[in-house]
Structure 1
């Protein structure tokens, strides 16, 4: 029986050796220089941080670009608004002077001149005498007293008047100095 066991052991040993050689060859072909085998630890420690760093740098660059564009647009808008607020924008045509501003302007009228305001124009008589000019009632709203002033009524010095509709205004009886805010024409 001992003679029969020897060939079985030899065949078994050969099969084990052949299996080990096959596994080694198969394992050697799993990763190569051109097609490497990637492990989870390599992905977590090398690839993911590199990708995140690249995305962060692109986001930072895009954010800086957008912030500079937004700043440029904001600065341009501020300049336009400041220009509109500070410019009186006066024009002249046929004896009439049309102008307007978002800030109070000091206007001097000679006796007989009429200042006609646009909607929501404000008047503040500083010196002289003047009367309300209006085609309908109420003419002007006296915002100081909380009353209304009909056409032909005398303005009080240092009272703030509001023309709620276009066409309301002030006619100078003597030379007057008046502060005006809003669009108006002088005839």
Structure 2
């Protein structure tokens, strides 16, 4: 008889557990008992996510400006000291405004429609297009540059 009572007790516990599980599964997140309070979403989580998103957008915009700013917009003014080197990427545009510079690699002189060989002097106010080469200043110089470049 005792064995029969244990079996009935186990079955009753199993049915009770199944009923509680079914009730919990069908009644989660109701209007009266939400999973997450709306006030938490509006006052804590929402502003935090907006702040993180704003920071990521600002960081991406700054990175874009630093990488493509001169390419997308106008020319950047570059002061090149005597002996300084301006290394340019392919398609980078250079205009010598003042000073004296020599090409350190071939440059295309768009203004005159010719090629400036390595070591040739740049002419003031001529537009040059770089092909992965650069410019070396023999005097303090001011250049206008559009595209990817680095100064050393």
Please report the TM-score for the alignment, with normalisation by the length of structure 1: 0.45
For structure 2, the residue ranges without an aligned partner over 5 or more in a row are 1-56
- Alignment match, 1:92: none
For 1:10, the equivalent position in structure 2 comes to none
Once the two structures are TM-superposed, the CA of residue 87 in structure 1 deviates from its matched residue by 2.2
The alpha-carbon deviation at position 128 of structure 1 amounts to 0.3
Whether 2:68 is the aligned partner of 1:87: answer no
Q: Name the CA shift for 1:100/1:183 in 2 (closer, same or farther; >3 Å).
A: farther
Q: CA deviation at 1:88?
A: 3.4
- The partner residue of 1:162 within 129, 139, 142 is 129
Structure 1 or 2, whichever has the larger Rg, is: 1
SS of equivalent to 2:102: strand
Q: Is structure 2 residue 91 aligned with structure 1 residue 120?
A: yes
For CA contacts below 8 A with separation 6 or more, give which structure has more relative contact order. 2
CA deviation digits over 1:58-90, x for unaligned, max 9?
A: xxxxxxxxxxxxxxxxxxxxx99xx47x8234x
Question: Partner of 1:41 in structure 2?
Answer: none
Match of 1:148 among 112, 115, 135: 115
TM-score, length-scaled by structure 2:
0.55
1:111 to 79, 82, 87: 82
1-structure distance, mates of 2:66, 2:97: 20
Using the TM superposition, give the Cα deviation of residue 153 of structure 1 relative to its aligned residue in structure 2, in angstroms.
Answer: 0.1
Q: Where does structure 1 differ by over 6 angstroms across 4 or more consecutive aligned residues?
A: none
1:183 equivalenced with 2:148 (yes/no) = yes
RMSD: 2.4
SS in 2 for 1:145: coil
Find the aligned partners of 1:122 and 1:154 in 2 and give their Cα distance. 16
Residue of structure 2 in register with 1:174 after alignment: 139
The total of aligned residue pairs comes to: 92
Alpha-carbon distance change, 104 to 179 in structure 1, aligned in 2, over 3 angstroms: same
- CA deviations 1:33-74 (Å, max 9, x no partner) are xxxxxxxxxxxxxxxxxxxxxxxxxxxxxxxxxxxxxxxxxx
- Tell me, which stretches of 5 or more residues in structure 1 are unaligned? 1-78, 90-98
